A and B are shown apart, each in its own frame.
Chain A
Amino acid sequence: MKDSVIHNLDPRTKLYFAVIITIISLCFNEIIPLTIIFLFLVPLFKIGKIFTQWLNTLKGLVFLAVFIIIIDTLFISFNLGVAMSIRLLVLISSFSLFFLTVHPDDFSQSLIQIKVPFSFAFALSLAIRFVPTLAQEAQNVREAQMVRGLELQKGNIIKKVRNFIPIIIPLIILSIQRALLIAESLESRGFGAVKQRTYLYPLKMKFKDFFIIGILTFFLVSIIILLLTGLLPDWLHFHLPF
């Protein structure tokens, strides 16, 4: 993991940040406030030294964002389509900040310390930890089938979907096999032996974490009050003409 101001924050602070940004973004259906929230997130990725990884995440969303714009334009309005796409980017970005700067072990530890049951927290962090392994395995399976003449890009849409069956099935089987092996390995090392376990690196919140949580809570409460009292400036409600 890299070393930055963002990386050094407690994972619970970053999780709280992601949740607060999600709630705030759900309070608005307009382009300008959602864009402001999005632009607020951008420098955080620079500070966290994860700007390139974040951009790569966004690249994968382009197709979905365009799809949302098209569907909303057809059925409601272009304005809403653009707003919803920006909201999607905000939601994904806020949680990307969390997942790109939190080690899977710290993630599991943070969930445990907010009283999530240990087995659930552990299973979740294990699942995240194995995403790169699964990606590599998918690549291996793909290559193993390509050398048997499988051409994934050939044929009509139905054929292309069917061509993924020789990829998906071995991947599922291998994942199940791995899960069973890991379970046996964990049990043979005492997993679940005692209810009350100790932790090697318990997390401790520092003053900066409480400060950031305080600021975020203040912003959330302020925005809710402004929304309820209708005191938000009119330019925030700007709509595209179509």
Chain B
Amino acid sequence: MIHCQNVWYSYDGINPVLQEINLKIMDGDFVGIMGENGAGKTTLVKLFNGLLKPAKGEIFINQKNIKTLSVAELSRIIGFVFQNSDHQIFSRTVAEEIGFILKNFKYDPSEIQVRIEEILKQFNLEQYKEQSPFLLSGGERKRVALASILCAHPEILILDEPTIGQDAIEKKKLIELLRELNRNGVTIIIITHDLEFTAEYIPRCILMSKGELIADGPTKYILTSEQCLKEASLVEPQLAHLSHILKFDKSLLSIEEMKTKILEYIGGAR
């Protein structure tokens, strides 16, 4: 569980980037954090994994205050996948890249090999095992980056803009993977600007604006609230917009809901 109590943060010690953040993310939650550029989304998640320490307030991870934990200790609990996978790739082979975190955590070499094989299979990266990760495509490098975090089986997984540069098929594969992880108890936190992705797949949404939390709740209510969207400088998702145009009694977010509604109408018209 992640628990933020009245958290403030400032980079220069004068202008707050985060103000009065009070937030609880329970085990097994699947959360999307959205907001305009500069809202403080990345700063917030960097506080979770100890890269930054709060100027005021407290953050507890599994009831332990993060001020007492180092980044290395927190990285055993929280896996963080950065937006640019090229910030982390440095090894000679994909297998070495994936095993890097396990070596840092001093896993047994035989255990490391087993986990590498497992994760290569899970991510369809087996054919690239001995290849240089620098020779892979952008999408493949992103998969390697994600695999290199997941092989350590973190309890909480944070992804910063995971859908950028990904085609529709890769996005679908990503969400299937994340849903499976979430079903297995992993808490998933995604920072994203991808409104359609959040509306379709992420059950809980946190909106931020100018360093403050402005909304936190089920996505179907948050992303259909005109006031919330306006404050967060977001436009409504396409399906919600279509619901308005077609004068449905409520805004719909998922394709399944829209399909059901349209079929209802067509059936009624017949």
Residue from B76, B88, B134 within 8 A of A144 (CB atoms): B88
List residues of A (170-185) whose CB comes within 8 Å of B's CBs.
170, 173-174, 177
Q: Is B72 an interface residue (CB 8 A)?
A: yes
List residues of A (106-150) whose CB comes within 8 Å of B's CBs.
137, 140-141, 143-150
- The reply to whether B88 and A145 form a contact with Cβ atoms under 8 Å apart is yes
- The reply to whether A150 and B134 form a contact with Cβ atoms under 8 Å apart is no
- The reply to whether B89 and A170 form a contact with Cβ atoms under 8 Å apart is yes
- Tell me the complex Cα distance, A141–B145, Å: 13
List residues of B (82-115) whose CB comes within 8 Å of A's CBs.
82, 84, 86-90, 100-101, 104-105
Shortest Cβ distance from B70 into chain A, in angstroms? 8
Of the listed residues B78, B79, B101, B152, the one surrounded by the most CB atoms of chain A closer than 10 A to its CB is B101
Shortest Cβ distance from A78 into chain B, in angstroms? 40
B235 contact set on A, CB distance < 8 A: none
List residues of B (219-266) whose CB comes within 8 Å of A's CBs.
none
Of the listed residues B71, B75, B82, B87, the one surrounded by the most CB atoms of chain A closer than 10 A to its CB is B87
A26 contact set on B, CB distance < 8 A: none
- The reply to whether B86 and A170 form a contact with Cβ atoms under 8 Å apart is yes
- The reply to whether A170 and B90 form a contact with Cβ atoms under 8 Å apart is yes
Q: Is A165 an interface residue (CB 8 A)?
A: yes
- The reply to whether B80 and A147 form a contact with Cβ atoms under 8 Å apart is yes
- The reply to whether B104 and A150 form a contact with Cβ atoms under 8 Å apart is yes
Closest Cβ neighbor of A172 among chain B residues: B90
- The reply to whether B88 and A165 form a contact with Cβ atoms under 8 Å apart is no
List 21 A-B pairs, Cβ < 8 Å: A140-B84, A141-B87, A143-B51, A143-B82, A143-B87, A144-B82, A144-B88, A146-B51, A147-B78, A147-B79, A148-B88, A148-B104, A148-B148, A149-B75, A149-B76, A149-B101, A149-B104, A165-B90, A166-B100, A169-B90, A170-B86
11 further contact pairs, Cβ within 8 A, besides A143-B87, A170-B88: A140-B87, A143-B82, A144-B87, A147-B75, A147-B78, A147-B79, A147-B80, A151-B70, A165-B90, A166-B88, A170-B89
Q: A residues touching B (Cβ–Cβ < 8 Å)? A: 137, 140-141, 143-151, 165-166, 169-170, 173-174, 177
Give the top 10 A-B pairs by smallest Cβ distance, nearest first: A149-B104, A169-B90, A144-B88, A144-B87, A147-B80, A148-B101, A146-B71, A144-B82, A166-B90, A141-B87
